[in-house]
Amino acid sequence: MASVACIGECMVELRQAQGGASAGQGGGLYSRGFGGDTLNTAVYLARLEVKVDYLTALGDDALSDEMIAAWNAENVGTRRVVRLAGKLPGLYMIQTDGKGERQFFHWRDSAAARQLMSLPETDELLNSLMSYDIIYLSAITLSIYDQAGRDRLFAAIKRARLLGTRFVFDTNFRARGWPDRDVAREVFAAAFAAADIVLTSTEDLLALYPGESTDQLMARIPTPELVFRLAEPVSLLRFPGGTREVRAEPMTNPVVDTTAAGDSFAAAYIAARLAGSDPVEAAQAGHRLASVVICYAGAIIPGYAMPPKKRHRPAASRQAIK
């Protein structure tokens, strides 16, 4: 069975409740949950029947216990989660406007996950990457480590790729996570050079390379397989043997919350590719799932709302993505 290692950070999430803000108070009621971009992808991968482990560090507190229980309930593997005494997970708050667009506020400087690349357990964790078919992480993942930690992670990914593991990089870019854009550009270039598949968007790349055309942005990414999502619900694909444009089907339901649109797209794309679908079919699957996710509040939609599973052509796990 194909397996995926998702590396990243899950945080405590505070979301403004509908109708919670009171006139003149600027605050209101918030509900508590958990979330993080790569964790969202891991949950959707598990729901799509992909074997997935989440690699991160948590504290030894009750909130971290709740996270572990929730991931296990979603069939996300937790054997690679390191627990750190006296530490806590990070915290973020989401505010969503009337169009479903969101704004994030983070408190994460001392979060346990930031130490993942500098622990006694780190070598064992990184060596385990060779046992997976896919390593998936995002730019947010890379932003929480220092340069030494990123170098250590990239070295482990390169070793794993020599044994057939594939590296999928998602450019989920949040400017506040980086000391400056020059550092981010250097890290992105290193990730592009190492990746087998890059999932990106105009929203991410124009923030780093303002004013560049789509062709210029795509030319920056040498990876053999590229999925470039435009501002409209369209993906431009580049892969060995061709290029294609894939349009999402027209929406029939109102957009409620765009949180995890890209995370769910990534999960459906990876799941389809592992199952033997070509990039075009995989992008279609990504658009289908994302178009459902944005019709619900929050990053993780109810299980009953998941679209029907599409059966793909069978494929040997490590040969499914070439």
Which one from 37, 53, 133, 263 is the annotated catalytic residue?
263
Distance CA 137, CA 168 (A): 7
Q: CA angle, 54 as apex, 306 and 52 as ends, to 5°?
A: 55
Q: How many helices (H) and strands (E) does the chain have?
A: 10, 13
Spatial contact of 123 and 153, defined as CB atoms under 8 Å apart: no
How many Cβ atoms from other residues are within 10 Å of residue 164's Cβ?
12
Q: Which amino acid is it at 277?
A: S
Q: Where are the beta strands (DSSP E) in 194-295?
A: 197-201, 225-229, 234-239, 242-247
Spatial contact of 169 and 262, defined as CB atoms under 8 Å apart: no
Spatial contact of 285 and 272, defined as CB atoms under 8 Å apart: yes
The length of the chain is 322
Which residues is 134 bridged to in the sheet? Answer: 4, 166
Q: Tell me whether residue 278 is one of the annotated catalytic residues.
A: no
Just list the catalytic residues: 263
